[in-house]
Structures are given as structure tokens and as C-alpha cells.
Chains A and B, each alone.
Chain A
Amino acid sequence: MRIGTGLLLGLISGLIWGVIAIVITGISLTLITGLAATPIISAGALGGAVNAAIIISRPPKKRTPGLYLVAFAAVVIAMMLVSFGMPFSLSFSQSSAIQAFGVGLIAMAITFANRMCLIDAHAGMLKRYSFDLVIVRVLKGLGFVFFSVIVILPFYVMVMTSLKNQQDLFLNPLDLSIDLTQGVGSLVDSYVELFTQFNFGSFLLTSTIVSVSTVLVTLAFSIPGAYAVARLKFPGQAVLSSSILLIYLVPMIVLVIPLYAVFSQLGLRNSLIGLLIVYPATTVPVALYMLQGYFRGIPAELEEAGLMDGLSRLGVIWKITLPLALPALASVSLYVFMIAWNEFLFAFMFLDDPGIFTLSRGVVSLNSSEVPRQHLMAGAVIATVPILAIFLWFERFLVQGLTAGSVKG
């Protein structure tokens, strides 16, 4: 084995992966099973480094499955030696199966990560290209872990908290395990209570009605407007099509005080009609902008042919343009639905009557010291699940909507 930058880099990579693997596995074990595990970081670090050293000791082409098996075993042995047989600071007699699984998982993760990062690196002096490549691979892997953790952890805590009860949560906030011995019924207690005592069924219905109506009103307003901007010639067309997005830069909070004052006088404040006036006003400019871009992309010849064949202008829109623009309509609808569903500010400022609360408003009303926090999290889950389900189902459309709706180009 030659000794050079390759070995150094391999050791560093192994060290990093060892630390990450043992920390994440240890914390995950705690969160999932409720064991009071404190991972010994030095054990992971050493295990990772040994693992990397064994892998990189052979040139890339001579690495056999057997070598990886040896490297895997080396992690386990190194970890056990350094931590005196307690890699999670727990005696091994305590839930030994779970601990063994954890150790195996760590060794596998480390072996996999080192293998991917060092796949074509040798132990000697690396060329700049290979050197950079290893660094980039390590960084990418770290990024993966980092983003997955920061995205998954909050959502995991949200869901699990909603299934626990206050007492358990205060006793050990790390224990997010689910106690299935109580039966499924007691798990969803918070949800049952929200729907029976806190009126969440009605909030869900109101949110659906408001969001769907906002989509319909927005489409009804923006389709003709977008068509006019895209196809018809009128003075000021260019200015309009470029300045419409400026509306998007107006902060909602600035509109709240005047609208609050005026809507109070008109009796529109504490009403869904009021919301249904405000929501489309904030979504129509974006929708118009997105649609006009799409309409421009539809060949004008098709519409001209329709006009030649004796269709009126509205007939052309209805029979030719809209069917061709269906994907764009779907994107716009989903995007607007998402905005309306997630809207918080105006629902919070306008609605006082619990009979017409939207979900956002309803969840905020759970944020008090008298309501246990698992109820708050259950409310958050109820608000999140529909929109995430729709998002996952129609991801392609929504991603298009997000991209087109926010910035062009």
C-alpha cells in the first residue's frame, strides 16, 4: 500500500461518516424506540476511519465483496472496543436485539458511504481531479444526510407528537415511540377529540369550500384577462403584461389595516364572502401572468383557423385555447389552491366566529396553554396531510406552477 493524500482523504471521509452514522442512528433509535441511548461519538469515528483504511488499502480494481465484509466487521469490532461494548452507553443486555440492529446499521451505512466516496480512489498521492472528486462526493453525501434530516425531523416530530399524550411528552420528550399495546384507538385520541369537540370537521369543510371557490373565481377572472393580454392588441398591452407581477410584490400585511377597516364597516369582515373577495385579488395577477405565458405558446394559427371557420372570439377561447391549455390550467389551479389552503393572515384577522373558521384559523385557536400540545400537532397534521397528498399526486403540475408562478425564466 502506498501512503499519500488518498489515505489521508479516506481516513477523513471515514471519520466524518463514522460520526454521522453513529449520531444519527443513536438519535433515531432513541426517537423511534424510546431507549435512552447516548451514542459514543469517538467509537463511530474510529470505526469509520478503520473501515475507510481497509477499503482504500486495496487498489480500486481489487476490491472484492470479501474486502467490504472485512471492512464491515472491522467497524463493529472497533466500535465495540472503543466503547467497551456499549456504543450507545447502554448495557448490551438492554434491548440487545435493537442495539445489535443499530450497530449493524451503522457498520453498513459507513461501509456503503466509504465505498461510494472512495470508489476510484487509491491510497497513494491522488491527482487533483480524483482528490476533488472525493471531496465532492463526501460533500454531496453530507448534503443528502443534512437535507433529509432537516426535512424529515420536523414532520416526524409533528406526526408522532400528535399520537402521544401530554404526560408522556413531558416525561421524556425524546421518546416518540408509539405504544401499540394501548390499541389503535387511544393513539388517535387527539384526532377524535379535534373532530368531535373542536369542530375540525367543519374547519376542514370550510377550508375546502374556500380554496375551491378561490380557484374557480381566480380562473374565471384570469382566463379572459390572460387571453386579452396574450392575444388581443390594445394600448398599454406591453406595459400591462410586464407590470402585472408587481402586484405580487405588495405585502399582504400592508393591505390588512385598510381592508379591516372597510370590511368592518361593510359587514364583510367576519364572513367567508370577505375572504373570497380578498383571496382571488391576491392570486389573480399571478394566475393571469402564468396563463398569458402559456397562451402565447399556443400557435396563433390554430385560433385563426377557428375564427375563419366561423367561431366567435369567445368560442375560440372555449373550444380551442382552453382545451390546449389544460396542463397550464391544472398548474394554476393547484398553485392557487395551495395558496388559499395555506393562507393564514386574512383568515386570522378577519374570522372571529368559530363556525366559519378555516383550518389555518382553527389550528391557531389551538395554540393556547389550555389545549394540550398533541392537539395542536394533530391540528397541524390535519392541515398538512390534504395539501401534501395533493402535492405528491400532482407533483409535476404543482412544480410547474411553482416555477412559473414565482419567477419567469
Chain B
Amino acid sequence: MTPSHNTNTPSATAPPQQRPVRKKSKLGPMARREAKLALWMLAPTFLIVMGIVLFPLLANFWISVKPVTLSDLRPPTAVVSERVRGDMDVAGEEFRIQYRMRNSSQKDAITDITLTDTLPAGVTITQMDPACSLDGSNVTCRLEKLDGGERNRLELTATANADFAANPVSPRDSEPTVTGTSDSILTNNEFTLDNFARIFDSREFWSVLWVTIAYTVFGTLGALVLGLFAAQILNKPFKGRSIIRGLFLFPYVAPVIAVAFTWVILLDPFNGTFNAILQRMNVTDAGINFFGQRAVPIDIFGLTIEFPLALATVIAFEAWRYFPLSFLFILARMQSISSDMYEAAEVDGATPLQQFWHISLPQLLGILSTLFLLRFIWTFNKFDDIFLLTGGAAGTRTLTVDVYEQGFALSNLGAGAAVAVAIFILLLVFAVFYFKFVHREDS
């Protein structure tokens, strides 16, 4: 796969305009060698992306039409316990060895079960279950099938000789081993649409969808507006600017678990610092349960509006955590706007606000729309933040939290995968947008 140096030199310097003339099927030997090398160099990336990203994406479709729960991931196994009945320490006396088998699963059958065990020396089998056979001191028993929850007992009758009786070793000392094949729900041909029916029928799904949309739109806008504001502040150089810039990036760089738990403790209704500050400033009498209260009634000119408090707090967290990212991009773009324009505007007497409105903003429109789309998708995809802040309670459950809720909290993997499929389809729509707008702009 490593081409020798003297052969691939020309291809590296080959004039690029030759390329379109050649047909793909008629790649020259050099080009073919180069393509092959590229393939090898890309192979690890392909493999890992296929295996860990694309395969699971497609696997979701498969799992979503399967009645599979978390417990199905543990395959049914035959559990065996060995018992000895009768006296084995009397020579010539008959005693019985029993293998009691039980299917660990209550509903799935196990087939082709083979049990093997080694008998202690000095024990002779006199009678045997027809399913079993003896080879030297090895007992092998075969069962065709053990239904879900079924129990079975295999019995051997044996006598011990004098040596053994004098110094008995329990046959239980050698553990019997059991193998069997079971039909995994993940690979069989059983399909169901129950998962989708369950997801879409529940009124909850639509409220989850609305929460997702509100969280995504407002979280994205919040982060963008804060980022734009922060970028304006740091646009002109001053002493200590790089320190401030580093400080403003903290929320994004710090681990999500750290900042999420800090917010939870900061906003705790009973002994959180923020509520204590509000009470000290006489803003409220009682602690506000920012992450636990679904809605607070707010009176505006006699009109009572149910303000979704927990959702708003989660959105505020999202804006707080991701404003540094948009700030970084907007700042980079602003630094690249040529100062000539501002100087010219200054000469014409444009005020700073006018300059922002008529020069900066139009120049920033490109990066703002790109950022909006990307942040929109990432916020839509966000799971960690809400999961750590509220666990999806109090009207903050988004689609991504619903995947966890269905799949793991309710241990219905199939339903979780069905939600994942819904997310994936929505994302495909976003991706079309991405290619239609952002990509064209970039090139």
C-alpha cells in the first residue's frame, strides 16, 4: 500500500486539468495508485464512523420496530443447580444425582441445551435419564428445548465404591456447565409498530415536541444575542482584553456536569445563593423553585400568563453556556471587517449606533445565519444539560431527554429508539437546509 517514491512522483505534480478529461473507469495507473493509497489512509476513519455512527443510526430503525426492553439485553440462560440425594458414603448404596434446570427468562425459550459435568472417581452410574450419555467420567445431557419459565430435572442413579465411600467427594464440587442457544429479540423476525403507536398516541409527545422547539429556538437566539453583545464589548482593544476574553469562555470550556450542578445549587429554592440574594433585595418573599416549577402565573395588565419557569431557566442556562461560542465567531468576523468602512462612515458623521446598524450588522449577517443554523441543530441535539438540570421534569422534557426516559427510565428500548428515529428524521430536514443555504454561502 505504500507506493515507492519514484512511481508516484508524477501524479503529485500532474496538471489538474487532465482530471475531468479522463473517465473514472479509465484512471491511469498513477491515479489509480493514488486513489488506492487515499482509500487506505481513509479506511480507519471510515470504519470507526461506519461502526459507531452510521450503523447505530440505521440500527435505531430496526430497534424501533422491535418489542425490546432493557431486560431483553440479558439473553435467557439455563440456570442449573446440582443436588445429591441419598447416602454416598456407604459403599454399594445407590444415591441420586439431580440436575435441576430453570430458564432464567419467563418468556423466551432456550434450544439445544447441553449440560456437561464430571463425576468424581469411584462413582459408577447405574441408571441414567435418557437425555444423558456417559463418556468415561463425563456426563453429557442434551435437551431440545426449555420454554420460558420452564423447569426440568435430570436424574442419575449412582453407586459409590469402597474407596469413594471412605473418602467421599461431593459430585457438586465440579460445576456443571450448560450451553444453549436462545432466540434474541433483537435478531429474530418479530416486529411491532407498538412503539410508534405508543409514542405518537400519547399527548405527551406533542408537548415534548413543543418544548423541544421552544428550547431550541430561544436557546439558540439567547446564545446568539448574548454572543453578539459580548463581541461588541471586546471588539476594540484595551488593556486586559485577552484576560476578559478567556474569562468569558469559561462557561463553555468547563465540564457540563460541573456547571450544571453549580446552577442547580445556586438556584436551589431553599438554600441557594441566588434565591437568598433575591430575598435579601426584597424581590421575592419565598424561594423560587427555578428548576422545579412548571409555570408561574404572571399578571400583565390584568391578563394572566402562565410563564413556563423551569423551561425558561433551562433556556437561560443554554444561552449562558453557549454564548462564548457565538461570541468567539462573531468577534473573529468583526475583527476581519476592514476599518476603512468605519472611518468613511465616521467622516460622513454616522453615529456609533448607526455604524453598528448599517455596517457591522450587515457584515455579520453571514456568520450569524451560519451560527444560527449550527447552534439550532446542536441545541436540538442537546441532552446533557437538561438531563442534569431537571431530568426532564417540570415541563422541560425535550425529544432527546425523551429517548432516555423511554429507553432507560421506562426500560422500553424500542420506544426510545422510536423517539430517536423521530429525531433523526427531523435532523434530515435540517441537514437539507444546511446544504441548501449554509453550504452554498460558504463556497
Contact = CB atoms under 8 A, between A and B. Distances in A.
Given A264-B73, A345-B383, A384-B255, A257 B407 contact: yes
13 contacts: A154-B251, A154-B259, A225-B45, A249-B427, A253-B420, A254-B424, A265-B73, A278-B52, A304-B13, A313-B5, A364-B388, A380-B262, A407-B374
Contacts of A36: 280
B271 to A, nearest CB: 4
Given A253-B404, A285-B45, 13 more contacts: A30-B280, A38-B281, A39-B281, A133-B352, A143-B229, A147-B233, A151-B247, A157-B262, A221-B44, A224-B40, A229-B42, A249-B381, A257-B420
Interface of A: 23, 27, 30-31, 36-39, 128-129, 131-133, 135-136, 140, 143-144, 147-148, 150-155, 157-158, 161, 169-170, 172-174, 176, 220-222, 224-225, 227-229, 231-235, 237, 240, 242, 246-247, 249-262, 264-265, 277-278, 280-282, 284-285, 288, 300, 303-304, 307-308, 310-315, 338, 341-342, 344-345, 349, 359-360, 363-364, 367, 373, 376-377, 380-381, 383-384, 387-388, 391-392, 395, 398-399, 402-403, 406-409
A38 B257 contact: no
Contact of B48 (A128, A221, A364): A221
Nearest to A133: B352
Query: Which residue of A246, A250, A384 has the most chain B CB atoms within 10 A of its CB atom?
Result: A250
A341 B255 contact: yes
Contacts of A222: 45
Interface of B: 2-6, 8-9, 11-13, 19, 24, 31, 34-35, 37-42, 44-45, 48-49, 51-53, 55-57, 59-60, 63, 68, 73, 75, 186, 226, 229-230, 232-233, 242, 244, 246-259, 261-263, 265-266, 268, 271-273, 275-277, 280-282, 320, 325, 328-329, 332, 349, 351-354, 366-367, 370-371, 374, 377-378, 380-381, 383-384, 388, 400, 403-404, 407-408, 413, 416-417, 420, 423-424, 427, 430-431, 434, 439, 442
Nearest to B381: A251
Contacts of B352: 129, 132-133, 136
A94 to B, nearest CB: 16
A380 B390 CA distance: 18
Contact of B248 (A147, A235, A345): A147
B9 A364 contact: no
B250 A377 contact: no
For the complex of A and B, the 3 pairs showing the least CB-CB separation, nearest first, are A281-B52, A251-B381, A132-B351
A247 B63 contact: no
Contacts of B403: 253-254, 256-257
Contact of B442 (A158, A258, A406, A408): A408
Contacts of B9: 307-308
B73 A251 contact: no
Contacts of B244: 144, 148
A367 B256 contact: no
A281 B5 contact: no
Contacts of A31: 273
Contacts of B276: 172-174
Contacts of A136: 352-353
Given A136-B352, A232-B38, A367 B261 contact: yes
A409 B370 contact: yes
A285 B268 CA distance: 39
Contact of B35 (A147, A234, A259, A383): A234
A176 B277 CA distance: 12
A344 B256 contact: yes
Contacts of B417: 257-258
B35 A250 contact: no
B393 to A, nearest CB: 14
A228 to B, nearest CB: 4
A124 to B, nearest CB: 18
Given A232-B34, A262-B59, A23 B281 contact: yes
